[in-house]
Amino acid sequence: MTSSTSLLEIRGLRAAYGKIEALKGVDIEISSGEIVALIGANGAGKSTLMMTIFGKPRARAGQILFDGRDITDLETHQIARLRIAQSPEGRRIFPRMSVAENLQMGADATETDETDRAAGLERVFTLFPRLKERMTQRGGTLSGGEQQMLAIGRALMSRPRLLMLDEPSLGLAPLIARQIFDAIRTLNRQDGLTVLIVEQNANHALRLAHRGYVMVNGLITLSGTGSELLQRPEVRSAYLEGGRHG
Amino acid sequence: MDYFAQQVINGVVLGSIYGLIAIGYTMVYGIVGMINFAHGDIFMIGGFIALISFLILVSLGLTFVPVILLIVLLVSMAITALYGWTVERIAYRPLRHSFRLAPMLSAIGMSFVLSNYSQVAQGARVKPVPPIITGGYTLLDSNGFVVRLSNVQIVVVITTIVLLAIFTWLVSRTRLGRDMRACEQDQTMAALLGVDVDRTISMTFVIGAALAAVAGMMYLLYYGLVDFYMGFVAGIKAFTAAVLGGIGSLPGAMLGGLLIGLIETLWSAYFSVEYKDVAAFSILIIVLIFLPTGLLGRPEVEKV
């Protein structure tokens, strides 16, 4: 399913931490304007895939193409400057910086124009009004949900072409999780933002996404549209049934 | 009381010099987690470059002291910064992903390299200069004891204050400062946001070396001499100051410098000059027993 509009294309990607191989030949493709979900159990390699796209760790084999350009060997900061943004595992808010500075960090590398920055900030406030009240507070003092909003907001500040979200609903109250999923949907519909989302909550993620991939032990085992995957018995038994959403 | 006032003035001047050096230790520790043992020698290099550029300017026929001082300041900051950059590039960066002790050992080696290099290039003898800034004010004159504030002391303290103000602005308000703090808190995340971590670390060394150069020049003005060995003791004192204030904390480094300067001068004034180092280091030990992270250091619990 090679298409000319493919924004991110990953071919035969392998990566390892020391001797432990975490990605064993992954193929993934994301078109412009798509929301793609990556689901799988703990330790399947989902977060590793997101980090390998940024060169941390470096790919041992395979190719990562962004907008047709080979970015496999670029430095991490150079990849970020292509407007690929990530809200990573564990959120990684700068704890001793204010919320305002955390957001500025997101904009610094790509948004040099002061009016662009202001517009970006407004966009983030519209999605997460809570952050506006917390601007002067230190990142480390925010609640889990607020930190998640900040991590996503920070990623959005670079006006990304590709947004990668690692478990945006992890540890959040259902109401806040829904808020965040709604925000992602809005961004996709209004601004045509391309999103790669990693989730353990497969039900939520597959309902949100246009397409999905299932990852098992460092390999993609299934792919299809969100509703297709939701119907598959192996997906249901592994990731849906027995869980909260049954 | 007059005697005490005079010693406090002297202590503050010495403390300013220690503080400027201590910032370099604390900044590098904060961002790469290593003690840059060559930093004291960078301070010594700064002193030598100040001396050399001063002599060159005088031999060129310049006589207007403020202009000479300003040029000497800028030249020694620039060239010493280049030394700091080079040391990081050749001795620390290749070892960044090696085992933890490797860069520290390399730093100790670099310290020897720099001091021996100066010894070979400039000779082992103390290099004196005639007083460049003379005169001063008499603040108090009671019963024959005079409290004096010399012009050199004023220059040292004011220069330190101005540079600290610029430095604080840089760290808290500019993009470079923000990048430095981001790298200090989470290098991986900084890189994910497009921060060039290697370049930011280089800049940290450059800024630290530039401040040490200012300290070197102030030392030259104040004591009127430099030698190849001066970086060792001053470096250890400034390192003590950084630890006392809380390593990793910038205000802590300045406070620690001031305290070490005051302790040293006051101890020398009332007890014995021979034991002034013992006094400074003892205070460090006592403070660390009760406040293991130093006066303004933060406890290592903040992990998300």
- pLDDT, one tens digit per residue, over A108-149 is 999 989 999 999 999 999 999 999 999 999 999 999 999 999
Of A75, A109, A140, nearest to B193 by CB-CB distance is: A109
Q: Which of B277, B270, B204, B268 is nearest to B234 (CA)?
A: B277
Domains of chain B in sequence order: 2-290 (1.10.3470)
Helix axes A144-156, A114-127, angle to 10 degrees: 140
| Chain B nearest-CA residue for A156 | B193
Which pTM was predicted? 0.92
Give exposure, B139-173, as e/b (b: 16+ Cβ within 10 Å). eeeeeeeebebbbbbbbbbebbeebbeebeeebee
- pLDDT, one tens digit per residue, over A51-94 is 999 999 999 999 999 999 999 999 999 999 999 999 999 999 99
Using DSSP, state whether A191 is helix, strand or coil.
Answer: helix
Using DSSP, state whether A165 is helix, strand or coil.
Answer: strand
Compare A171 and A177 and report the one with higher pLDDT.
A177
Residues of B with CB under 8 A from a CB of A: 175, 178-179, 181-182, 185-186, 188-197, 302, 304
Banded pLDDT at A28 (limits 50, 70, 90): very high
Banded pLDDT at A238 (limits 50, 70, 90): confident
Compare B131 and B158 and report the one with higher pLDDT.
B158
Q: The complex's ipTM?
A: 0.93
Mean of the per-residue pLDDT values of chain B: 93
Report pLDDT for A241: 60
| Chain B nearest-CA residue for A81 | B194
Give exposure, B246-269, as e/b (b: 16+ Cβ within 10 Å). bbbbbbbbbbbbbbbbbbbbbbbb
Residue B144 has pLDDT above 60, yes or no: yes
Question: How would you classify the pairing of strands B225-226 and B127-128?
Answer: antiparallel
Cβ distance B181 to A94 less than 8 Å, yes or no, reads yes
Of B179, B192, B302, nearest to A95 by CB-CB distance is: B302
Report pLDDT for A43: 87
> What are the angstrom distances between the C-alpha of B300 and each of A141, B22, B154?
15, 21, 38
Banded pLDDT at B100 (limits 50, 70, 90): confident
Residue B302 has pLDDT above 50, yes or no: no
Report pLDDT for B303: 42
